[in-house]
Structures are given as structure tokens and as C-alpha cells.
Amino acid sequence: MQSMPENSPRKTVAVVGGGVAGMSAACALADVGFHVSLLERRGYLGGRASSYLHPGVNEVIDNCQHVIFGCCTNIVGFYERIGVANKIHWTSDMTMIEPGGRRSQLGPFQMGPIRLPAPLHGMPALLRAGAFRVADKLALARAFRGMMKPGSLSNSEETLGDWLRRHRQTEGAMNHFWRLVIASALNADIEHIAVPYAAKVVRELFMNSAEAGSMGMSIVPLSELYDGAKRFLEEHGSCVVLNANVEGLSWDVLSRRWTVTTRTGPVTADYVVMALPFEGLQKLLPGLPQAPGVADLAKQLEQHAHWPICSVHLWFDREITELDHAVLLDREIHWLYNKGKLQPWRELRGSYVELVVSASREFALLSRDQAIAKAMNELAEFFPVVNTARLEKAALIKEVRATFGVPPGIDAARPGAISPWPNLFLAGDWVATGWPSTMESGVRSGHLAAEALSQAAGRAQNFLVPDLRPQGLMKWLR
């Protein structure tokens, strides 16, 4: 049995789920003296943001490229807590490439010490970008103005597609920005995105400050990154239990303790944090104790739906591009990440790139050979050297449950951290964090659950890291 001795003064917590939500909750609570058992059903941490040895290519690969941004204050704070913040590569530039190879560079303006105040910091690059016609740039400016004030769209019931058509967006603006950059960030089609979430992405990444929009990518495999969480927990007297598939939970009214039944044995704890995807919690609901509010929670869970992310991993005998990442326009592949450059420890003879396709249910239906052939053909349109390079190996990863959708009205289906059961708290990117389905939302939910739990234990703590403050002119538009 995985539990603390009965005479231990430390309160015990079982955190179910080793994704970023569970890890952040576990590390925050261990940091203030709780004894935490982090239970993960797989043999490694990370959940949907993990890596593993792919047997087909004999390489450690991420299940999909995950990026963070400067505005993601809680995941940055989590990385700092577990000592891996130095393993993130940061950049402020974004290269957009059209078929045929023409490039446009987006990013903040800086000439020596001269910088433009937000939200004007990205304007010069946008005005120079050949990927947008003059009419496209005017349309984007019109839409940005409509999304500038944080509270102006908070109650919108429109889809992003309807809102964009009402704001007279051109086809160029729709295809090269809204259907690609914003739909990729939210991993959903514009006809299934609530306007407030799109507005949040626009403000955070492009308007509030140059720092908020900077992009961070791990220089090590994700599971290696999260080894820091395992070390942190063990150094703080807590533990990680892998391959511990949870089969049920029971509540003892007399001892006021939970017993979590796992494949590796029972775990008893004073408190539980359920840090699972919504479908994982759905599976456990029938075995949980009856309590007021359970039926309402079940109805909330039923309103969530998944969107897939696919990634194609390609190894070539030579360098394909000098870029470390790029946005690919007008084709089904959306993003390129040059993993050989981002992860130089691999010491490759040639190159290794990962191509990401967001929010495409059609691509997810392709077979392995079809998906790889399509990716190769499209990649050659951006980088002709692909036609003469030798493909040494390839892998296709389909994360069919990558994110939850954010259609209008979804906020009503996102519960808070406090559950219907005593001493049991909810975490996961899908709970009420104010953020879409991102790692930042997952970490925020972990911090919120840890705050609610610590308050219930009579030792209230603040774990949520404050947002970055808007800079320049944007600080007057809060």
C-alpha cells in the first residue's frame, strides 16, 4: 500500500494523472509540505505532452510538438519550480513560407535600443509581409481593433467564422492568419471556435507585449523535461507511481480518507486531485460515491468533444532548411519544426523535421503511407531540396484526443476545481481556467486545484502565477 504512516503529521494527497495538470498540482503541494503520490497509468509522465521510444524508427520522439509562449506564466513558473526552465529555446520571430518558397517574417520591431510600444511592436513586420496583400492587412487591422479591449467580446455567442465575416475579412486574411495561426493555436476550425478565445489568443500573442508573444520550444524530449517533476517530488519526500492505472475510488466517511484502487495496489490519502482528461473522469464517474452535483458534472462532461493533432516525423540524409521552425501556408501541413536544430544533442548526419497538422479530422483519417506521402509532396513545394534528399525513416503520430473544442457556450461546461465530493478536487486543461486547451490551461488548473486543496486543509496558499501585464498602449485598454 502506497501511503504515509498513520502517525505522520503530513497530510497525504493522491494526484491521479501525470500530465501537466497533475504534475503542476503535485509539485505545488509537495513544495508546501504535503506528501503527494502522483499516479500515472503509463510508464512515463507528460500525458498528451510526452515522448517515448518509437519502435518503428528507434528514436525518442514527442507525441506532438508542443510550444509555450511568454504569456504562459504558469507553465514557465512550473518549469522554474522543477528546474528545467533552461531547457526551453525562446524566439520572437515567425517565418511564414508560401509554396514556391517566398518568405514573410513576423515579429517585434527593434532597431538598436528603439522598440515600438505594444500593440504597435509587430506592425512594421506585418506591413512588410508579402504573404498578405494590402487588403488583407487592412482587414486584419479592422479585426484586431475589434478584439483590442479584453471585455468587449466576453459574452459573445458567435463563432469566430461568423464574427470574421461580419468584420469583412478577406480570403488572404482568413487563409493565412485566421484559419492557420489562430485555428492552429486553438486546434479547431474557425466555425467551431468561440470568439472570446480567439480574441484572447490575438491579444496575448500579438498585442499585449513583445514578451508575451515570444515562443518557447523544448530542446529535450518532453518526457525528459518532465523527469524534473519526478526529481522534485522525490526530493520533497513525495513519490511518482507509474503504470498505476486507476480502477476506482472509495471514500471512508469515518476516517475521512480516500482509497484509490490501482492496478499496482491501493493508495490511501487525505485528499485527491483528479487530473484527468474529461473522458478519463467520465469513465470513473459510475464508480464514484453518489453526491449532490454529480449529475450536473456528468452533463458538463458530455458537452466536451475532441479535436485531433497529427504530426509527421521525417529523417533525411541532408539538411532541408536552416530554419528552426516555420509556418507553411496554403497546404494541409501547417507547421515545420526542425528538431535536429532545436535538439542538437541528437548529433544527426542529416536532418530531422516534424510537420504538424492541426485541427484536421480529414488528415487524421489517412493511412500512414498516405499521410507521409502527402506531407513529403507538400514539403517539397516549400523546400525543393526534398526532391533530391533521401528519406531515411518516417513516423506518423495521430493524437486523436489532443485537445477539447472551444465552441460558443463551452464555458458553461467547464467546472471549477471544487468537485461534488469531499476532499476531492478537479484539474485538467478542460476545467474553468479562462484559457483554451493548452499546456498553460493544464498547469493553471493544477495550481487552482492545489489552492483549493490547501485552503480545505486549513493552510491556504497561492500558487497561480499572475498574468504578464499589458505593455505600452495596451496597458490603458484593460
| Residue 224 neighbours by CB under 8 Å, 6+ apart | 51, 60
Counting Cα atoms < 13 Å in the Cβ hemisphere of 70 gives 19
Contact 182, 202 (CB under 8 A): yes
| Residue 218 neighbours by CB under 8 Å, 6+ apart | 62, 66, 87, 88, 89, 225, 342
| Residue 269 neighbours by CB under 8 Å, 6+ apart | 3, 12, 13, 14, 37, 257, 258, 260
Contact 431, 415 (CB under 8 A): yes
Q: 46-58: per-residue pLDDT in tens?
A: 998 889 899 999 9
| Residue 80 neighbours by CB under 8 Å, 6+ apart | none
Report pLDDT for 148. Answer: 84
| Residue 133 neighbours by CB under 8 Å, 6+ apart | 170, 172
Segments of the chain with pLDDT less than 70: 1-9, 150-152, 478
Rounded CA separation 226/364 (Å):
27
Q: Which domains does the chain have, with CATH numbers?
A: 12-49+222-304+408-456 (3.50.50.60), 51-73+82-89+306-404 (3.90.660.20), 124-208 (1.10.405)
3-state secondary structure 264-285: CEEEEECEEEEECCHHHHHHHH
Neighbours of 380 (CB within 10 A): 16
Report pLDDT for 1. Answer: 40
What region does 100 belong to: left with phi over 0, alpha with psi -120 to 50, or beta?
left
Rounded CA separation 229/217 (Å):
18
DSSP state of 354: E
Rounded CA separation 422/41 (Å):
24
Rounded CA separation 136/279 (Å):
40
Report pLDDT for 3. Answer: 43
Neighbours of 132 (CB within 10 A): 22
Give residue 53's identity as a one-letter amino acid code.
L
Contact 309, 296 (CB under 8 A): no
Which residue has 484559457 as its cell numbers? 435
Instruction: Report residue 112 CA to chain centroid gap.
Output: 34
DSSP secondary structure letters along 421-468: STTEEEESTTSSSSS-SSHHHHHHHHHHHHHHHHHHTT-----PPPPP
Calculated CA dihedral for residues 227, 228, 231, 233, nearest 10 degrees: -110
Phi, psi values for residue 434, rounded to 5°? 85, -5
Here the cell at position 446 is: 493544477
Rounded CA separation 327/68 (Å):
16
Report pLDDT for 150. Answer: 65
| Residue 402 neighbours by CB under 8 Å, 6+ apart | 48, 64, 187, 306, 307, 308, 309, 437
Which helix (H) or strand (E) element contains residue 229?
A: helix 227-235
Distance (Å) of CA 354 to CA 51, 65, 399: 13, 8, 14
Give residue 252's identity as a one-letter amino acid code.
D
Here the cell at position 276 is: 484527468
Here the cell at position 223 is: 518526457
Here the cell at position 448 is: 487552482
